[in-house]
Each structure stands twice: as C-alpha cells, then as structure tokens.
Amino acid sequence: MNRRIIFAVIGIILSLIPAGVSLTAFQSNADKPNIILVMADDQGWGDTGYNGHPFVQTPALDAMAKSGLVFDRFYAAAPVCSPTRASVLTGRTPMRTKVTNHGRYMRPHEQTIAETLKSAGYVTGIFGKFHLGSGQPDSPCNPAGAGFDEWVVGLNFFDNDPYLSRNGKVEHREGKGSVILMDDALAFLKQHKDGDRPMF
C-alpha cells in the first residue's frame, strides 16, 4: 500500500481520537499490529543511522525503520518535552491540552491513544519519562489514568540508582537509569510479543 495512503489513514484515525471516536469502527478481521512508539528528548531528525547520520550508529532503530513504518513528517508540537508528549498521546495541540510548558499535568479527561488502543484490545505500557503527571498510585494524572496497563516512570532517565515508579509503587533501583528502564521495556515486549493481545 502506498505510504501516502497509510499516512492519510493514520492521520484521520489520530484526528478522531480527541473527539472520543473508538477504533472499533475501523477494525477489520486483519490482525492488529504491535505498536512501538519511541520518543526521545532533544533528538533531531538526522540523529539516526537510517537518516544518514555520519557517525551515530543506531542498528536497532535502523532495523525497526527498515521493517516497520517510519513517520518522516512527524514534528514536535513544542520545543519542550511535556507539551510534545501530551500532543503525541492526544493528537491535540498544547493549547488544547493545556500542557504548554514543563511541569504541567495532563488533565485526566484527555482521551489518549493508549486509552483508545486499550479499548480496542491492546495491552499498553510506558517506560521512561512520562512527565505528564505523578507516578503516585492514587493520582488521576499517573500513567494508568492515561490508559497504560503497565508502567515504570521517573522524572529523569539519566540518574544513577534512580527512584522509579512501577505501577504506582516507588522503587529505589541500583544501576544506570536509562539501562534499567530499557530492560523493563524489553521485559514488557518479551512478555507480550506472543500474547493473545496486541501491544502498544
């Protein structure tokens, strides 16, 4: 199928998420694909091997790009992390989500792609820097409130021996924060890759 058509269909689906439209209207008998969304702070378009960086080597991302779908016209909604994360999850601009700067919690009533996919039968997980709310179990603004079944999040990803919130339980972990989070994400992928539910 032509990439332009695929992007148009995905764009239409994502534009309907804020209106509360369920993906069930778009489902067919085809298998639901697993979806892996990789989001990095301060990473430019050319900072990967598959986009021709002269010395940065990203073999895992290059392999994913070769065998999957790459959004090559996917721009940040804001120059800081929280508004961009809210926009990616909701399909709405920072002004609409009211997340216009660092330290702003996403409102609990915002419909996210995780909630929409979860209602379509997906198991959902997020690992790393959420930066849209609290990691506390009783907060309506934690990742569970945004539709994630499993989560391990922290304020930063570069801390050594970090304090991380795993599904609302704060854990003091030993090691490099980014490695710990990647190991947790890989464990989630391995656990669900052959399951009866697709994953996001």
Residues that are catalytic: 81, 131
Question: Which residue has tokens 């804001």?
Answer: 78
Closest by alpha carbon to 35, among 43, 46, 47, 23?
A: 23
Assess contact for 118 and 124: CB atoms under 8 A. Answer: yes
Residues 184 and 127: beta-carbon distance below 8 Å: yes
Burial label for 169, CB within 10 Å (0-12, 13-18, 19+), is exposed
